[in-house]
């Protein structure tokens, strides 16, 4: 029996602008199902497309199944998605042997910049880049699926 694919990810707010010079790819994604126990996402990243099914988060881990799909299928599936689509530029940054993905959100989520790192285990140590801010891994407001329902610009002021 094959092992179930698991995503182990940590998420942080980003400070400063040093990350902006990294290679970036435009992403557009939407959710066919957005439930606490499962999400079904359609994503176009540059010129490639994926269908992703994720299970519930347990700490920093969750089941994740991702499949490449034809770009024209993804374009049609995005029209079936619940709520507004998420658009962002993803910057890829190699730092201390790991790849950080910094998402610069657009549209109703503009102003939000979040860095993610995928790890091999929940205990894996990593060096924090100087532009890394507060950790938001467990804060569901920062889940992309929730940003589609309650965009960053509609959040109540934190001041």
* Enzyme catalytic residues: 31
Phi-psi domain of 134 (left: phi exceeds 0; alpha: psi -120 through 50; beta: other): beta
3-state secondary structure 5-72: CEEEEEEEEECCCHHHHCEEEEEEEEEEEEECCEEEEEEEECCEEEEEEECCCECCEEEEEEEEECHH
Residue 109: closest CA among 142, 140, 132 = 142
For 145, the 3-state DSSP assignment is helix
Tally of CA atoms within 13 A in the half-sphere of 123 that contains its CB: 0
Task: Give the Cα separation of 114 and 45 in Å (integer).
Answer: 17
């Amino acid at each position: 029996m094959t092992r179930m694919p698991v995503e182990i990810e940590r998420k942080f707010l980003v400070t400063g602008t040093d990350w902006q010079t990294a290679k970036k790819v435009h992403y557009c994604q939407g959710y066919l199902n957005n439930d606490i126990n499962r999400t079904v996402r359609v994503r176009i990243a540059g010129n490639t497309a994926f269908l992703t099914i994720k299970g519930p988060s347990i700490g920093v881990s969750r089941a994740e199944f991702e499949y490449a799909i034809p770009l024209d299928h993804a374009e049609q599936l995005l029209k079936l998605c619940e709520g507004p689509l998420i658009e962002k530029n993803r910057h890829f940054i190699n730092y201390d042997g790991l790849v950080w993905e910094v998402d610069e959100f657009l549209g109703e989520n503009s102003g939000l910049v979040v860095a993610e790192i995928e790890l091999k285990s929940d205990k894996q140590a990593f060096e924090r880049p100087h532009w890394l801010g507060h950790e938001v891994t467990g804060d569901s407001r920062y889940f992309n699926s929730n940003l589609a329902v309650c965009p960053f610009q509609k959040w109540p002021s934190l001041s």
